[in-house]
Structure 1
Amino acid sequence: MMENFGIRIKDIIDILLVATVMYQLYRIVSRSGTGAIFKGVLAFIVLWVLISQVLQMRLMGAILDKFTDFGLFVLIIIFQDEIKRFLISLGSNRTFRFIAKIFNSKDTSELNDSVITSLVLACMNMAKSYTGALIVIEQEIKLGNYIETGEVLDADISTRLVENIFFKNTPLHDGAMIISGNRIRAAGCILPISQNQDIPKSFGLRHRAALGISQETDAKVIVVSEERGKISFASNGTIETNITPEKLQELLIGSMHRKKKGKKR
């Protein structure tokens, strides 16, 4: 019956794939604050298709065709960060992660119970003393480029060591600590700052950096506010503020358990 209307199964699949890609792109650009530009690009594409393909206006269509050829390079420049995030999100998809693990079977992104306890206690103590902290926990996407911006430590995780690193006026307290494979890989690291215009103005540099790294990678990020003495948790480009130590433990344990369930499937 579909064949009578000129619609084939592969055409439906094609439309669904395009819709999925456009939706994922929109989600990524909306987090970075460039959603309005993205909507403008979509409006231009619709106008171009309408004039060139539907109405077949040759002169106007030819002008828009030239704009389209030139605009492709402009869009690559404007959305270079968003394109990077899209490719990262594609690479972190469960199917592609499975393919990657064929070549690298070692998984170091899970936190053990003792590490989670140490981190929660450290964050609770730092929140009470109004000590600012920014802790990044590596997941599937490796953070080697960010580790290189700080002081490489490769140390065991303990509550006292975490607190000492972020103690006020110490050389490494302003940067981010990166954890990988249940070890502190580096401290004093520099992270990308989120450019999303919708971020509350009350957010400081640590919160913006937490959002930035969670937008560009699949890392989990803990923030302790120096001004308010509150704990926040960022992942997948979103941040949950003013959480309790118990909630932080649930989030860390929950992400670990979800990952194990994904493996069993």
Structure 2
Amino acid sequence: MESLNSLINIFKGFSIFSVIDILVVYFIFYKGYSLIKETRAEQLLKGIILIFLLIPVSDLLNLTMLNWILENTLTISVISIIIIFQPEIRKALEHIGRTSFVDKIIYEDEEIMIGVVNEIVIAVEALAEEKVGALIVIEQMTGLGDIINTGTKIDGDVSSALLQNIFVVNTPLHDGATIIRNDKIVAAGCFLPLTNDDKLNKQLGTRHRAGIGVTEVTDCITIIVSEETGVISMALNGRLLRNYDKEKLRNVLLKIMRNRQSNKDSFKERVKLWISKKDKM
């Protein structure tokens, strides 16, 4: 009866805010685990949990030396976790930072967006036919200013002719990445971070590894043309998708950009609706 009364008292103290509190904490832990799932950090997390479980066990079994080592290890655990999970923490903070009131990918109308995509696709198809290696990065929510600063500023309108000219073999800018922001080619010859994925096909070279690497730390879209085979690939969210043709590439790019534009517009409509309701109150 005492246990039952204790359980009843616990539930009596519950309110809608208690439920919200539990759901928020659950969501945070779920999203945190999703970020490190199937990565090396997941194994490290399991090791840290094991240490936490061993402390009471070692105390119960009077394993004095082991208990002392484990307890002292916890005194530096916070710093250790920050160092160990630095890539995952950065990824999580960037993901949170992408939620903003104004979407960075803004086109005045759909015609401009379609025009940009068409110019990119025409250039990529021509480069693929000539087997000219290319690496094109399309900025989205996450700013690429630090990467842009590693290359040569251009700030020219997106055009297939300019893109093809940038990647002409043995020219100063052909060997780096070209960055596109909205309807402008902002820089070329930029350096990208390489992926650390050891499961990647060994036949893929530095251009593909760089194309994947930048999408692991930002939400950009990367288009890669193989110099050896002329195969067109796309990297997004750390994944490489290969064997694109002209129409498939165009449709995928338009779908991604339209979805982002649609999400931005729907968010603005919700804000306007909320403000109008407030004004009527």
Q: Shorter-chain TM-score: what band? A: 0.7 to 0.9
Which structure is larger by alpha-carbon Rg, 1 or 2? 2
Preserved contact between residue 109 and residue 140 of structure 1 (Cα < 8 Å): no
Q: Counterparts in 2 of 1:1-265, with a 5 A limit? A: 4=8, 6=10, 8=14, 13-30=20-37, 33-48=40-55, 51=57, 63-93=69-99, 97-98=100-101, 101=102, 107-110=104-107, 112-265=113-266
Amino acid in the other structure paired with 1:6:
I
Where 2:186 maps in the other structure, the secondary structure is strand
Aligned length: 254
Query: Residue 43 and residue 201 in structure 1: after superposition, are their counterparts in 2 closer, same or farther (change >3 A)?
Result: farther
In the alignment, the residues of structure 2 paired with residue 243 and residue 27 of structure 1 have an alpha-carbon distance, to the nearest angstrom, of 29
Query: Residue 224 and residue 31 in structure 1: after superposition, are their counterparts in 2 closer, same or farther (change >3 A)?
Result: farther
Displacement of 1:202 = 2.4
Amino acid in the other structure paired with 2:94:
I
Preserved contact between residue 193 and residue 208 of structure 1 (Cα < 8 Å): yes
Preserved contact between residue 33 and residue 196 of structure 1 (Cα < 8 Å): no
Where 1:115 maps in the other structure, the secondary structure is helix
Q: Deviations over 1:32-76 (max 9, x none)?
A: 65433233334434555x6499x7989566643321221221221
Preserved contact between residue 41 and residue 84 of structure 2 (Cα < 8 Å): no
Question: Root-mean-square deviation (CA), in Å?
Answer: 2.9
Query: Residue 51 and residue 171 in structure 1: after superposition, are their counterparts in 2 closer, same or farther (change >3 A)?
Result: same
Query: Residue 18 and residue 177 in structure 1: after superposition, are their counterparts in 2 closer, same or farther (change >3 A)?
Result: same
Query: Residue 197 and residue 113 in structure 1: after superposition, are their counterparts in 2 closer, same or farther (change >3 A)?
Result: same
Preserved contact between residue 106 and residue 261 of structure 2 (Cα < 8 Å): no
In the alignment, the residues of structure 1 paired with residue 40 and residue 204 of structure 2 have an alpha-carbon distance, to the nearest angstrom, of 16
Query: Residue 257 and residue 133 in structure 1: after superposition, are their counterparts in 2 closer, same or farther (change >3 A)?
Result: same
Note the residue ranges of structure 1 that are not aligned, 5 or more in a row: none
Where 1:6 maps in the other structure, the secondary structure is helix
Higher relative contact order at CA 8 Å, sep ≥6: structure 1 or structure 2? Answer: 1
Displacement of 1:25 = 3.3
Note the residue ranges of structure 2 that are not aligned, 5 or more in a row: 267-281
Preserved contact between residue 157 and residue 182 of structure 1 (Cα < 8 Å): yes
In the alignment, the residues of structure 1 paired with residue 126 and residue 81 of structure 2 have an alpha-carbon distance, to the nearest angstrom, of 47
Amino acid in the other structure paired with 2:225:
V
Displacement of 1:205 = 1.3
Where 2:228 maps in the other structure, the secondary structure is coil
